[in-house]
């Protein structure tokens, strides 16, 4: 690959991976399967290895994903909480074993374990009592979820036996399939969006602000790691876990000690089949070098231990026949074929429907009526059809006829040359599109208004809401006259509309549903232009200056703002008090550095003035010289030797830029200043 192309791809991959990591860890709503994510991460690792000049400390390859969330106190981990190197290839597991055998002279063994698919937790016990529970967070600091951990049935409050006075143990919080199904049924009944999988449900539940609700969610915990740095004198990992079990802790029981790659293979083959019968989700197995001395010899990289590797199973597949095909109309008018299937068990849940994506994909798969198809779960709730089983095709089976008119409004469909999708062009009149726009506007990642499909159907059918601004016109009294609305539901709906006035501009922009403007693009555009007015004035050329905005997006945005109906809608939304500009530069971002006095020295990736502004926006105090009151010295490149000497004399810690950035809540980084622009509306 050419240097420039490599650099562009590296930047692109970083953007995609950072965005998806946030969706996975913070929103608990990934839009990409783990497999797709891991493949892209490996591609980025390879490119950075080939082009070391493009390596940066903030690349997703150098960080563990962050689950830090507002509403929880953050606390530093005593020892960093690392991730695991993972692979889908057995030959890479063989390489891991070969490397271990080459490096380690003495006899050693492998501890094979299940890779539990939940959310990581770190428990501290003091004097036999549960003292603290932290999430992984960004690996350096985690959210304090102690009260919620106390509500997980199999986490003991008190230990028994011969436990050490103060120690940490790490593991995974899981939601068993039975609890997951019950939760999603309840959410569907309340018109709340379902969780995509038990992992998202587990991490979403662990981050609830209401511990009583956590207790109801049926979470469980399984523990698999006592950090070696704790200083407990165990010879091996297995011995440590046995001891933990003897103190009453829930330790993973399915582990096995083996002595060579043959043993590892047997373990993998066994669980590849038998994991289907477990009551909770697993996504692979973990192979750890068992002896502590051997672990010490192998050591760690910045992100992962060299003494362990995770082998991940490819997504499970199921084979089942298609019963019929529905054609759904999305908010953009795109027609999505969805197959109704003979119900089949897949990764712990029953699958009845799967997407065929679009007309192009149906052609590529060569779907025929009644075909037996392979289904797989990706990041989305609705599984995908990935292939047809040709040996089971009935003789004379025909290709399904793709509709020529919109199944909702009857308008003839259009398909641009070389496009995979058919569209209903009636964007202003097609009920499904209008309702889809409303649902998108209200969705959690947009304005987060609490209402589901049934509410939108009702409001639309009664002629009460056709555009988002109509929603804000609805009064409590008016809602109470509608069928099925009670005081409580009406108040909840109104309150969430009122709260949506504080949703930041970038999400308002995303909520408008401008074609091709997804969350990431909306954020980039919002930060670049700073306000709705500036954006509406922007020319195509100015839009093209925004990183990652190409011609398609620029055309779509200018087209949107040249439509008088959109301008009317935007004016109405403004009059309802929605956020139409980004936060001011001098506004506080967090209290992460409150009470800290910081001295900076040397050069950084941003200017020194910007660094000082960053410190004060996070509540910290800047100081010019090192003294006994200094909390730490933030040292960039070429820091002043005198300052460093003073620090070592006074015992003041020295942090580099990377360590410093890790102290700041990740969602506050990269806020770009903007200039005032003229007002259009």
- Least spacing, CB of residue 58 vs ligand IVH, in Å: 20
Q: Which of 16, 82, 112, 589 binds ligand IVH (CB under 6 A)?
A: 82
Cα 222 to Cα 153, 175, 244, 270, 620, distances in angstroms: 11, 11, 11, 20, 39
Question: Residues 317, 310: contact at Cβ < 8 Å?
Answer: no
Specify the stretch interacting with ligand IVH by CB under 6 A; choose among 113-121, 289-297, 407-415, 524-532.
113-121
> How crowded is residue 581: how many other Cβ atoms within 10 Å of its Cβ?
19
Q: Which of 249, 251, 310, 598 binds ligand IVH (CB under 6 A)?
A: 310
- Least spacing, CB of residue 284 vs ligand IVH, in Å: 8
Phi, psi of 593 (to 5 degrees): -110, 15
Residue listed under structure tokens 């597991």: 93
286 vs 522 by CB, closer to ligand IVH: 286
The string of DSSP codes covering 401-429 is PPPSB-TTT-PBPB--TT-S--B---TTT
- Least spacing, CB of residue 310 vs ligand IVH, in Å: 5
Q: Tokens in use for 354?
A: 């799967």
Q: Tokens in use for 605?
A: 């990736």
Q: Which of 113, 138, 376, 533 binds ligand IVH (CB under 6 A)?
A: 113
13 vs 202 by CB, closer to ligand IVH: 202
Specify the stretch interacting with ligand IVH by CB under 6 A; choose among 110-118, 440-448, 480-488, 619-627.
110-118
Specify the stretch interacting with ligand IVH by CB under 6 A; choose among 16-24, 111-119, 358-366, 496-504.
111-119
Phi, psi of 157 (to 5 degrees): -75, -35
Is 115 a catalytic site residue?
A: yes
Specify the stretch interacting with ligand IVH by CB under 6 A; choose among 68-76, 82-90, 179-187, 264-272.
82-90
- Least spacing, CB of residue 120 vs ligand IVH, in Å: 3
446 counts as binding ligand IVH under rule CB under 6 A: no
Task: Out of 115, 377, 384, 435, pick the active-site residue.
Answer: 115
User: How far is 286 from 303, CA to CA, in rounded Å?
Assistant: 16
Q: Of residues 277-296, which lie at the interface with ligand IVH (CB under 6 A)?
A: 286
Q: Give the single-character DSSP code of 315.
A: P
Intra-chain end-to-end CA distance of the chain, in Å = 47
Q: Of residues 210-269, which lie at the interface with ligand IVH (CB under 6 A)?
A: 224-225
Q: Give the single-character DSSP code of 236.
A: B
Q: What is the total count of residues that contact ligand IVH (CB under 6 A)?
A: 15
309 counts as binding ligand IVH under rule CB under 6 A: no
639 counts as binding ligand IVH under rule CB under 6 A: no
Let me know how many helices (H) and strands (E) the chain has, helices first.
Answer: 25, 20
Cα 108 to Cα 97, 104, 317, distances in angstroms: 11, 8, 36
Residue listed under structure tokens 């197959």: 339
Q: Which of 17, 84, 536, 599 binds ligand IVH (CB under 6 A)?
A: 84
Question: Residues 48, 40: contact at Cβ < 8 Å?
Answer: no
Specify the stretch interacting with ligand IVH by CB under 6 A; choose among 18-26, 78-86, 317-325, 405-413.
78-86
Specify the stretch interacting with ligand IVH by CB under 6 A; choose among 45-53, 194-202, 303-311, 519-527.
303-311
- Least spacing, CB of residue 116 vs ligand IVH, in Å: 4
Q: Tokens in use for 643?
A: 């300052």
83 counts as binding ligand IVH under rule CB under 6 A: yes
172 counts as binding ligand IVH under rule CB under 6 A: yes
* Long-range Cβ pairs for the range 476-483 (8 Å, 24+): 482/458, 483/458
Q: Tokens in use for 124?
A: 């501290």
Residues 6 or more apart from 33 whose CB is under 8 A from it?
315, 377, 378, 379
Taking CB atoms, the residue at the shortest distance from ligand IVH is: 120
The C-alpha angle with vertex 237 and arms to 232 and 239, in degrees rounded to 5, equals 75
Phi, psi of 350 (to 5 degrees): -90, 130
Q: Which of 13, 29, 41, 120 binds ligand IVH (CB under 6 A)?
A: 120
Q: Which of 308, 318, 413, 439 binds ligand IVH (CB under 6 A)?
A: 308
308 vs 362 by CB, closer to ligand IVH: 308
Most distant CA atoms of the chain, gap in Å = 87
Question: Residues 335, 327: contact at Cβ < 8 Å?
Answer: yes
Alpha-carbon dihedral of residues 487, 488, 489, 495, nearest 10 degrees? 100
- Least spacing, CB of residue 258 vs ligand IVH, in Å: 15
115 counts as binding ligand IVH under rule CB under 6 A: yes
Q: Tokens in use for 279?
A: 């009551």
Residues 6 or more apart from 265 whose CB is under 8 A from it?
90
Give start and end residues of each alpha helix (H) in 277-394: 292-298, 359-365
Q: Which of 305, 337, 378, 639 binds ligand IVH (CB under 6 A)?
A: 305
96 counts as binding ligand IVH under rule CB under 6 A: no
x/- mask, ligand IVH, residues 126-165, rule CB under 6 A, reads ----------------------------------------
- Least spacing, CB of residue 301 vs ligand IVH, in Å: 11
Task: Tell me which residues are annotated as active site.
Answer: 115
Binding site for ligand IVH (CB under 6 A): 82-84, 86, 113, 115-116, 120, 172, 224-225, 286, 305, 308, 310
């Amino acid at each position: 690959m050419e240097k420039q192309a490599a650099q562009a791809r590296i930047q692109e991959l970083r953007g995609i991976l950072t965005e998806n990591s946030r969706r996975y860890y913070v929103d608990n709503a990934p839009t990409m399967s783990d497999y797709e994510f891991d493949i892209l991460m490996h591609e980025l690792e390879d490119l950075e290895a080939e082009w070391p000049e493009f390596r940066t400390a903030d690349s997703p390859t150098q960080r563990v994903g962050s689950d830090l969330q507002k509403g929880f106190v953050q606390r530093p981990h005593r020892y960093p909480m690392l991730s695991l190197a993972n692979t889908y290839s057995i030959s890479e597991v063989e390489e891991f074993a070969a490397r271990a055998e080459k490096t380690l002279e003495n006899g050693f063994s492998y501890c094979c374990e299940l890779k539990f698919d939940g959310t990581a937790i770190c428990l501290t016990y003091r004097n036999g009592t549960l003292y603290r529970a932290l999430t992984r967070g960004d690996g350096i600091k985690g959210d304090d979820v102690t009260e919620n951990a106390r509500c997980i049935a199999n986490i003991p409050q008190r230990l028994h036996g011969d436990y050490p006075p103060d120690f940490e143990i790490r593991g995974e919080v899981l939601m068993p399939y039975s609890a997951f199904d019950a939760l999603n049924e309840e959410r569907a009944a309340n018109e709340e969006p379902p969780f995509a999988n038990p992992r998202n449900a587990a991490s979403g539940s662990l981050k609830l602000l209401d511990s009583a609700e956590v207790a109801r969610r049926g979470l469980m915990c399984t523990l698999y790691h006592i950090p070696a740095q704790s200083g407990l004198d165990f010879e091996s990992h297995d011995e440590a876990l046995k001891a933990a079990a003897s103190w009453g802790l829930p330790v993973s029981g399915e582990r096995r000690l083996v002595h060579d790659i043959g043993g590892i293979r047997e373990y993998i083959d066994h669980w590849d089949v038998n994991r289907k019968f477990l009551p909770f989700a697993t996504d692979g197995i973990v192979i750890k070098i068992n002896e502590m001395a051997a672990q010490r010899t192998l050591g760690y990289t910045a992100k992962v231990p060299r003494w362990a590797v995770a082998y991940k199973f490819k997504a499970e597949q199921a084979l089942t026949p298609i019963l019929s095909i529905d054609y759904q109309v999305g908010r953009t008018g795109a027609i999505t074929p969805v197959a109704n299937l003979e119900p089949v068990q897949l990764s712990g849940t029953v699958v009845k429907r799967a997407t065929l994506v679009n007309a192009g994909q149906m052609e590529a798969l060569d779907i025929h009526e009644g075909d037996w198809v392979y289904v797989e779960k990706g990041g989305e709730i609705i599984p995908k059809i990935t292939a047809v089983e040709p040996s089971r095709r009935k003789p004379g089976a025909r290709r399904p006829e793709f509709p020529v008119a919109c199944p909702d409004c009857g308008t003839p469909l259009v398909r641009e040359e070389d496009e995979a999708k058919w569209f209903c062009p009636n964007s202003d009149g097609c009920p499904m599109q209008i309702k889809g726009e409303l649902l998108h506007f209200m969705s959690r990642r947009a304005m987060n208004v609490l209402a589901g499909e049934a509410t939108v159907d009702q409001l639309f059918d009664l002629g009460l809401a056709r555009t988002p601004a109509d929603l804000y016109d609805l009064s409590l009294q008016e809602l109470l006259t509608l069928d099925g609305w009670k005081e409580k539901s009406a108040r909840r709906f109104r309150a969430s509309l009122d709260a949506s006035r504080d949703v930041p501009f970038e999400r308002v922009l995303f909520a408008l549903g401008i074609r091709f403007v997804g969350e990431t693009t909306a954020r980039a555009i919002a930060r670049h232009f700073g306000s709705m007015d500036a954006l509406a004035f922007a020319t195509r050329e100015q839009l093209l200056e925004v990183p990652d905005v190409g011609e398609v997006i620029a055309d779509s945005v200018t087209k949107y703002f040249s439509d008088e109906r959109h301008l009317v809608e935007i004016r109405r939304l403004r009059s309802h008090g929605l956020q139409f500009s980004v936060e001011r530069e001098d506004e506080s971002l967090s209290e992460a550095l409150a009470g800290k006095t910081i001295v900076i020295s040397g050069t950084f990736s941003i200017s020194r003035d910007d660094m000082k502004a960053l410190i004060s926006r996070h509540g910290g105090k800047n100081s010019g010289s090192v003294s006994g009151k200094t909390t730490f010295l933030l040292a960039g490149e070429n820091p002043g030797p005198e300052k460093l000497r003073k620090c070592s004399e006074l015992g003041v810690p020295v942090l580099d830029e990377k360590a410093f950035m890790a102290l700041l809540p990740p969602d506050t980084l990269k806020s770009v200043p903007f200039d005032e622009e003229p007002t259009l509306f």
